Structure 1
Amino acid sequence: MRKKALLFGLGFAIFLGACSSERNTFTNRAFHNLTAHFNAYYLADVKIKEVENQVKTNYKEDYTQVLPVFIPVDSATIQQNKAKLDSARELSSKAIDWHRISKWVDDSYYLIGKIDYLQAQVDDSKNAFRYVNSQSKDKNLRHRALISLLRLYIDQRSYEDANFTIDYLSKESGISDENRYELFKTLAYYYETRSDQNGVIGALDRAVEYAKDKKELSRIHFILAQRYQREGLDALAFDYYKRALDGNPPYERSFFATLFAQQVAELNASKDFRKVRNYYDDLYKDPKNKDLKDVVIYEKALFEEKQGDIPLTIDLLHQAAKEPGSNPRLKGYIYQKLADINLNELKDYRATKYYLDSALSFIKKEDPIAQQIQDQKSTLDLFVFHLERIQLNDSLVTLASLGENEQKIRMEAFLASEEERLIKEAAKKSAPKSSSIFDNLLAFSGRSSGSNFYFDNGAAMQQGAIEFSRTWGNRPLQDNWRRRSALFQTSGQTAPQATKTDSLGSTESSIISGLPSLESLLAQIPNTPEQLIQINNELEESYFELGKLLYFDLKEPIMSIDNLETLIRLFPNSTKKPEAYYLLYLGQKETNGNSQQYVGRLNREFPDSPYTFSVNNPDAASGNLAYLESSKRYEQAYQAYYIGQYNQARHLIISTLEEFPLTRNTEKLLLLDIMVTGKTESRDRYKAKLEDYIQVSKDQELVNLARIMLRPLLSQEELASLDQGNKEEADSTLAVKETVAETKRPEVPANSPYNVNDSQTHIFVIALSPSEVEAAKNLLGDLENFHAQAFSNARLRTGNMNMNQENSIYIISPFANAEKAMEYFRKFSEEFKSTGLSEDVKSKSFFISIENFQTLNKTKNLEEYLQFFRTIYQ
């Protein structure tokens, strides 16, 4: 017994000795290698792989687009698995802290780097991978860390660091097959981010040689097939689509591989169109494809488009939008295709705008294609706004011109005809109307009479109103597609409830309750001079803006001419008349019409207008050189005016306007000419020219200056009238100033080396890292253009300098005070765009007083000043 106890004690002592992480003996190393591997590293690795697999499982592949090389890391999935990753981090840390002499320490550091990468802790992840590469004696592990570091650099678009890493790895020998597979995939990702199609294909071709996982291999084959197809190499694409079917891929990938293989091999080459259409019909009827019916019809629509059958293509796209599907983004592509057809084939800009609206409802805003759609839609939004405002206001003006009895008779007749028509339509409906959301988004009723498109089909619109009323009751419509319909919207009055219990009676009751009341219709007709003036002002503005937009943005000179001529006919005294004449001159010239009639009108009616100078001197210089030269001439003319040489000043002004019409200096030159008039001509002439200038000038600062110059020339009655007209604007400005004055500014952060001095000259700063500077190569030029458009009179200067090794800064100056700098900051944040300049960089821009900048230039601590700036100014 004593012997056993002795042996047990001896064994326990050996065990305790082996547990020590300080003694580097064979027994100790063996113990720590075993426990670090299986009690810590292995379990941590399993948890990380589970999270990575969850990311892959949750990701919805969009096979209609080229698949990405790497499946993006979804932050939501990572957050859901935070506990698992925290546990993996704890296990990895134990392997490092408790088993320091084991051979799994560096591997555990690598796992921590992977965890940091998944949790978007970029700097920590970089440090972990760099540490492993510099410290590990295991070549395979070092290579793995470098490949992970390369992917991280590519994520950040740090191409200089990425190129250095690629070059280093290219010179390394003994890279394992597993690491070579990851390396070539990462190289494909590198070329993918740089839009290098051949580079992606070449790298993935090499990755295929080392792929072990058959499902991964299937996915790579599918990507190669897609890219070969887009390069027009159909034979290679067919081969790789067939290879993508190996390895038991998911059914959806098999479906698309089969579909696309058939397209590149048979559909494109086949002359038997019936066979092609039967192929799509068979796919559609296959029960296994019940969640892919929208894909089948969409692809069939694209086939019919290639055959030139646009009406059938549109019908199929409408059908595809209503079919069930597993990929919501496909609905967005369907609407985008409908928008494309309506824009390029049908020239229906209103339909295009609403299809793009529907597309955006299915495509995530962070998707690059969403920004592309938004950019395309901005012009169309303005087009539809002005078009629909013209339609609505034109109807209201027509109704306002009638007597009360006539208005009432027309409204009663409208309500009676609508009720009768809708009851007849409802009676014909034997099958219930689909309540699919796609019917509302597509907004068409393809089986009914009349136009297929919702806002050109009054029946479809009213049927929608009936269905809405049945579901939700009698509510006023808001934000409907056709603003003209606003004339007939209910003001919320409730119709009497029906007492019939049969279905036809219920339908009639629903129709009656869905129609607006007579009172609500009459209430929307303008009946005061002020209301009519407002409506006519809106009409004038919309006709002008629509004409300008059609000419410059939509390249529709004939439609532009129609709107501008309507403007001049309806509003002969419009202040926009000179510019309208000029646009009509351009439009007629482009369409080989009678452009000279507008040259004559401009010379007769507006001899001093810059537009008159322009049509009289069509070959005059323009652009930046014209701006620079006209700036020099303006300074010379102003100097001549200042010293009393008024004739010389006028000569310089006139010659500059004739030689350089319509530069950013034009309005300044015109105002200077008026100042010369004040010195050389009659008081009445001076006053008239100032009043005309105030009406037509678009530069608010110059307009304000002209108003100041005008005031001494006005009588007491005219001053009173002017002050009354400007009262509302003045009150608004005062309210803003009072609000600012009353706002209590936060205290300066404790121990901050910066002071608040709003009256001091300020500068605006954009800070960028070296990689961000490389990405934003056009920044200086874009800033100059931005200043020319938005701050043409501010004389802003732009420069750049190195703050430290990590940051270069671009400086815009000067701003007289913090208020001016804040105005620039807001406009910059909202409107400035430059290729390669990220929103993150824009959000870190700031303005700073000269005194504070001197302090910043010494400390080089941008984060410290940003904290001060956000506390005080944001």
Structure 2
Amino acid sequence: MSRYFRNRPYLQLLTVSALLTAVLVSCSQYSTKPISKGYHNLTAHFNAYVIARDEIKEAELALFKTRQENYNHLLPILFPVDSMLVAPVKPQLDDAIKKASLIPERHQNSKWLDDAYILIGRARLLKQDLPNAIEVFKYVNTKGTDEDDKHQALVGLMRAYTEASDYTNALNVSEYLRTQPLNKANTRDFYLTKAYMHERKGEYTTAAGILDATFPALKKGESTARLHLIAGQLYDLTGQPTKAIAHYQQVLRSRPSYDQSFYANLYAIQSNGLTGDQKRLAQSTETFETMLNDRKNADLKDKIYFTMGLLEARNGRIDKAINFYSLSIQAAGSNTSQVPYTYEEIGKLYFEKKTDYAKAKVYYDSALALMPQQSPDYAALVTRKKTLDEFVQYQTTIRTDDSLLHLAQMNPAALDKLLDNVIAQKEKEDKAQAALAQQIVDRASSGNVGTVPGATNSDLQPNERWVLYNPVALSQGRQEFSTRWGNRPIEDNWRRSNKEASEAIAGVNSPLNGGTSANEINPNAPLQQQDATNASAQTALGSSGIATVQKAQKDALYAKIPFTKEAQAQANQRIENALYKLGKLYKFQLNQPADAIPTFEQLLTRYPNTLQKPEVYYLLHLSNEQLGKASPWKDKLLADYPNTSYARLVGRAVAQQSTDSETKALATYNQIYELYKANNVTEALARTENSLNTFTGTQLEDKLALLRVILVGKVQGTDAYKQSLTEFIRDYPASSLLPRVKEMQEAASRQTANRK
């Protein structure tokens, strides 16, 4: 037979072809034969799955090693998906998706099909391609053949929903998985993902409890040490410092990184402060000294001083806390990651404990200047800063215009002498700032900055630092610039003429602050370093040139003083508005009724004819009521302004209406409505005003109020009509009539615009 084939080569070729065809047919990816499945299992595993799996693991490891932990906040249990941070490993993830996709394309009968889809889902999750990741995990759960793979996909699905902040669906998946028999790996991942979900939702107690259940399934190592650190933070946030300390101690037993052990020690000291354990608190002082003297902590001293400040603040020693926070800022050097949070804490102390809002604003400004916008504290800081900006603006307006009005009443000779002193003091300060600036430049040029060779600007005392490297000075400078010059466009010669005057006289003999001498005007203002150049230039001008400059400065100061009755009226109007807004800010934004009361009372004393009097009476009543004090303001409001919306608000708060009152209200409403239909609008309006006070708190009150709005428009005209619409919206925010009133308001606005 063999000789037969050897003599016929074409038969050999046909035989080989037939054998190859048989093998290829049997290896089809849709075949269920053992040879075919074995071939595709082998090829899919080593040519696709292993490569994709390892690339994803390498990407996750790279992200873990290059992570930037913000130890000023609660650390996330799982690293949140971030497109910016994942950018360096994106090519690996793309290649992993490409390799894993070969399996569903070429190896449909392979046992690695479900695993391939899970890898694709993981890679898309890391890339922040959440919609596609969700679809892939759903597909595995629906079409998968292995229960463990389906459970793994559901854990990934719960993670994707959590990253998308779709907590309803994440909880639904969690509840289903809770009833399933999970293997060890899936149980571990399920617990971690569920804990992460609850942490994201702010449910810290639940997250901490789930983490506790996870630790037995974890091996010692840096990632486990990190989770113990987070568990400690969670227990601290839920008021369980003893449990927190136990986890911080576990960090040290879990092969942590140096940073993890460092912060575990710091957090443990903070938790000791919360337990009230005086023995441990006494030991903490020695611990701080040891940590400060450890050379390995040379670049971490700012964190140590910050923690010392926190402990002092918690024990009510505010000034000591501020001192330690200041040391933290000085020790920061070029690494400013801690600095914005230190400024924030100082700002909180001035805001909440010292109620010094002007200083609090400066520190909040500095915190915002350095804080990353993605920080959890950023949005709240912006909101508080806006409030403090308004506060400083109102106080500055009152102080400045009060000072200017005071100057307008001075004897001309005394005023002239005072302004000379102001200008002289300003020049003296300019020269001092110029000398300081030159000293810093000289030190830098000679390489002898500070007392340590090679020291930088951060080694200088805060008052010696160059302004551009001193965030507090920068914030003070911005504040002074805005107060002094306003919002100015970029242009040449922006400082000339009378633009120099306002702040220079703002503090002089202010009636609100008990008077300010010329020597106290603008001490150490950072922006005056810019004026130092002018001081040097004036020296070169000679005596005649200096005299000319001084005369121009004095003329600019004179131009700001309100000598005419019209200018004085405008200044008083600004003060009146600022007092009114400042009082409301104290009452509502700052929640300081004790400060709101004297502010409103000052407004009424200085401006007894203010148009805001009814509202001020009402706010004085609320502020005294909040403090538990008896006051005459409610009675004065009801007696002097019985027909205002504020009187009705007071009446509504104390009204106890009966069924009889409801019946009477309905009858009265019908009577007034008949007057309205008969076009007897003047009498109808008068009856409505009286009825609103009589039937305050009834179900018909908002209908009466709306009828009043319509009658006001017919009797008193457009402006009064628009004002009454605004009052209705303010006084009846829950009324079912509100949509109609808003439509009326829009129509009135359009009508006014068309007339213009």
Q: TM-score range by the shorter chain?
A: 0.7 to 0.9
Aligned residue for 2:139? 131
3-state SS of paired residue (1:60): coil
Aligned residue for 1:660? 696
8 Å CA contact retained: 1:475, 1:492: no
- Which of residues 343, 346, 350 is equivalent to 2:354? 346
Asked which structure has the greater RCO (Cα within 8 Å, sep 6+), the reply is 2
3-state SS of paired residue (1:278): helix
Amino acid at match of 2:227: I
Q: Per-residue deviation at 1:667?
A: 7.4
Aligned residue for 1:245? 252
8 Å CA contact retained: 1:386, 1:543: yes
Distance in structure 2 (CA, Å) of the matches to 1:223 and 1:656: 58
8 Å CA contact retained: 1:113, 1:125: yes
Aligned residue for 1:804? none
Distance in structure 2 (CA, Å) of the matches to 1:230 and 1:399: 54
* 1:747-758 pair list within 5 angstroms: none
Aligned residue for 1:309? 317
Of 631-640 and 112-121, more deviation after overlay is shown by 631-640
- Which of residues 573, 578, 591 is equivalent to 2:614? 578
8 Å CA contact retained: 1:45, 1:111: yes
Distance in structure 2 (CA, Å) of the matches to 1:72 and 1:439: 36
Distance in structure 1 (CA, Å) of the matches to 2:418 and 2:710: 56
Aligned residue for 1:44? 52
Matched, 1:190 2:197: yes
Of 125-134 and 78-87, more deviation after overlay is shown by 78-87
* 1:604-619 pair list within 5 angstroms: 609=644, 619=654
8 Å CA contact retained: 1:476, 1:492: no
Aligned residue for 1:216? 223
- Give a deviation string over 1:110-152, Cα, whole Å, max 9, x none: 1222222223333322221122123232332222111111222
Aligned residue for 1:225? 232
- Which of residues 549, 561, 575 is equivalent to 2:585? 549
Amino acid at match of 1:574: T
* 1:229-308 pair list within 5 angstroms: 229-231=236-238, 233-264=240-271, 269-271=277-279, 275-308=283-316
Aligned residue for 1:795? 738
8 Å CA contact retained: 1:586, 1:595: no
8 Å CA contact retained: 2:59, 2:89: yes
8 Å CA contact retained: 2:587, 2:596: yes
Aligned residue for 1:559? 595
Distance in structure 1 (CA, Å) of the matches to 2:633 and 2:553: 50
Distance in structure 1 (CA, Å) of the matches to 2:386 and 2:476: 25
- Which of residues 110, 115, 119 is equivalent to 1:111? 119
8 Å CA contact retained: 1:143, 1:179: yes
Aligned residue for 1:637? 672
Aligned residue for 1:841? none
Matched, 1:65 2:100: no
Amino acid at match of 2:307: E
Distance 1:105 1:793, change over 3 A: closer
Aligned residue for 2:332? 324
Q: Per-residue deviation at 1:542?
A: 0.8
* 1:72-111 pair list within 5 angstroms: 72-111=80-119
Distance in structure 1 (CA, Å) of the matches to 2:390 and 2:321: 28
- Give a deviation string over 1:140-199, Cα, whole Å, max 9, x none: 2222111111222333454554344334333333x3322221111122123324433342
8 Å CA contact retained: 1:280, 1:296: yes
Distance 1:96 1:610, change over 3 A: closer
Q: Per-residue deviation at 1:284?
A: 1.9
Aligned residue for 2:209? 202
- Give a deviation string over 1:849-872, Cα, whole Å, max 9, x none: xxxxxxxxxxxxxxxxxxxxxxxx
Of 641-650 and 112-121, more deviation after overlay is shown by 641-650
3-state SS of paired residue (1:495): helix
- Give a deviation string over 1:368-395, Cα, whole Å, max 9, x none: 4333334444543432221122122223
Amino acid at match of 1:642: K
Distance 1:255 1:156, change over 3 A: same
Aligned residue for 1:120? 128
Aligned residue for 1:372? 380
Amino acid at match of 2:173: T
8 Å CA contact retained: 1:292, 1:326: no
Distance in structure 2 (CA, Å) of the matches to 1:602 and 1:589: 16
3-state SS of paired residue (2:180): coil
Structure 2 unaligned segments of length 5 or more: list them: 444-448, 466-471, 485-491, 507-521, 751-756
8 Å CA contact retained: 2:431, 2:535: no
Distance in structure 2 (CA, Å) of the matches to 1:592 and 1:20: 86
3-state SS of paired residue (1:573): coil
3-state SS of paired residue (2:287): helix
8 Å CA contact retained: 1:407, 1:522: no
Amino acid at match of 2:534: A
Amino acid at match of 1:144: Q
8 Å CA contact retained: 2:368, 2:381: yes
Aligned residue for 1:755? none
8 Å CA contact retained: 2:618, 2:633: no
3-state SS of paired residue (1:347): coil
Distance 1:405 1:259, change over 3 A: same
8 Å CA contact retained: 2:269, 2:281: no
Q: Per-residue deviation at 1:76?
A: 0.8
- Give a deviation string over 1:249-273, Cα, whole Å, max 9, x none: 2211111112333554699524486
Q: Per-residue deviation at 1:565?
A: 3.5
8 Å CA contact retained: 1:187, 1:203: yes
* Larger fraction in helix: 2
Structure 1 unaligned segments of length 5 or more: list them: 447-452, 466-472, 679-689, 705-783, 798-812, 824-874
Aligned residue for 2:574? 538
Identical residues among aligned pairs (%):
26
Q: Per-residue deviation at 1:74?
A: 1.3
Distance in structure 2 (CA, Å) of the matches to 1:163 and 1:254: 34
3-state SS of paired residue (1:71): coil
Q: Per-residue deviation at 1:454?
A: 7.7
Distance in structure 2 (CA, Å) of the matches to 1:515 and 1:117: 70
Distance in structure 1 (CA, Å) of the matches to 2:551 and 2:227: 58
Distance in structure 1 (CA, Å) of the matches to 2:729 and 2:61: 48
Distance in structure 1 (CA, Å) of the matches to 2:666 and 2:383: 34
Q: Per-residue deviation at 1:93?
A: 1.8
Distance in structure 1 (CA, Å) of the matches to 2:494 and 2:98: 58
Amino acid at match of 1:296: I
Aligned residue for 2:446? none
8 Å CA contact retained: 1:408, 1:522: no
Distance in structure 2 (CA, Å) of the matches to 1:409 and 1:395: 16
With the length of structure 1 as denominator, give the TM-score of the two structures: 0.64
Distance in structure 2 (CA, Å) of the matches to 1:631 and 1:84: 75
Distance 1:628 1:513, change over 3 A: farther
* 1:826-865 pair list within 5 angstroms: none
Aligned residue for 1:382? 390
3-state SS of paired residue (1:253): helix
Q: Per-residue deviation at 1:304?
A: 2.0
3-state SS of paired residue (2:299): coil
Aligned residue for 1:145? 153
Aligned length: 677
Aligned residue for 1:829? none
Q: Per-residue deviation at 1:615?
A: 7.5
Distance in structure 2 (CA, Å) of the matches to 1:142 and 1:413: 83
* 1:765-776 pair list within 5 angstroms: none
Distance in structure 2 (CA, Å) of the matches to 1:98 and 1:425: 76
